[in-house]
Every structure is written in C-alpha cells, then in structure tokens.
Amino acid sequence: MTSPSDPGRLLAALPAQDGPAMARLRERLADQAQREGILDIAYRTLETPVGDLLLAATDEGLVKVAFAVQDHDAVLSHLAGSISPRILNAPRRLDEASRQIDEYFAGRRTRFDLPLDWRLSKGFRRAVLTHLRDIGYGRTESYAQVALAAGSPRAVRAVGTACATNPLPVVVPCHRVVRSDGTAGQYAGGAEAKHFLLNLETAA
C-alpha cells in the first residue's frame, strides 16, 4: 500500500483529469515531492499559437520544450529514461518559463532570460545551440553561417542535426536558422510552426 509520505507514487496513481479538487491534491503532492527532494523533473503543458508545448525543468533549469507533434508521452518517457524517473506534473516550477513564453507569443518579449539545463546536448551540437541564442530576434542565419560561427565551417549537415534535435526550441531559437536560399527548411515542430515563429518576429 502506498504511504502518504510517498508523493511520487500517489501522484502516479491519481487520474490525470478529475476536476479542481484533484488538481489541488496533485499540486500539494508535487509540493511535498519538491520539499522532500524527490522531484527531479517537473513538467507542465502550455497552450500557445503553435499548439500545446510540453515544458520540463530540473533544479538546474528548463531542460525540455516539445511540440505536440513530437508526442508528449514519448518525450516524458525519454526524459524518465535519460535523466530520472522521478518526474511529476508540477506546474509551479515552470511558472516563470510559462510567463516568458506567453510574453514572447504576445510580442512583448524578444529574448528569454531563463536558467537552462543543457545536459541533453553535448559537443558540437551544444556549440551550435549556444550560438543560436546570439541570433537576434527577427534575424536569420543560414546553416553554413551557423557552422562557421560554431567553429566548423564544413559541418553544415551537423548544424542541421543539432537544430533538429534541439531540446529547447522556441527558447533556443533554431527556427532562425534557414537554408542558404532563404527558404525555411525543416523544423521539429513542423513547417507551419516555423513559419509562424519567423512571421511573428518579422512582424514586430
């Protein structure tokens, strides 16, 4: 039998949707898990103009942003396997990230100021993603330009892979990387989402 001091198991046993009372209970249990140091990854979903985004954070910072087309359940399963199975729906840890993303989509924010947990990106991919934060709002760079800036001018294809596997899209703006001919190119959230983000920024 699950004991009251085991909030992780209690949360896992609760139905996902059961009204305001259940939501309050989930929140209290998530707070307890945080206090007891057994909440390694908190997550929530956020409604946006490009669909529901899954946001996940560790104690270090935002670790994952995922589009609905990436299958949120699969993303959570991957996080549980690659970082920690102690993962709970605990929205409070994501309050600031949610606020800043809402401001971005409302046209009131041009740069994110959030602690980030980079553990899902290493080596050259990490170098690429670090550079992406230097591409200004409303600007774009080609894959070749990013490869040069990341220190490997010939690694254009590797830049494409780094962008495709970016664990923090929107916040780390891989949507600002386009093909040399100016066309948008591929995007984890889909072509429509990429065009929306580019148009949002150029219209500001």
| Residue pair 201/135 in contact by the 8 Å Cβ criterion | no
For 39, the token pair is 């909440």
Angle in degrees, CA 139, 164, 110, rounded to 5: 30
Q: Give dist(CA 77, CA 87) in Å, integer.
A: 10
- Asked if 43 contacts 55 with a C-beta cutoff of 8 angstroms, the reply is yes
**Please, are residues 88 and 30 in contact by the beta-carbon 8 Å criterion?**
yes
Considering the candidates 55, 97, 168, 174, report the single residue annotated as catalytic.
174
Q: How many CA atoms lie within 13 A of 197 on its CB side?
A: 28
Provide Rg for the chain, Cα atoms.
18
Q: Look up 163 and say whether it is catalytic.
A: no
Q: Which residue matches tokens 């490869």?
A: 147
Residue 87 token pair = 């993962």
Give the count of beta carbons closer than 10 Å to the beta carbon of residue 76: 18
Residues designated as active site: 174
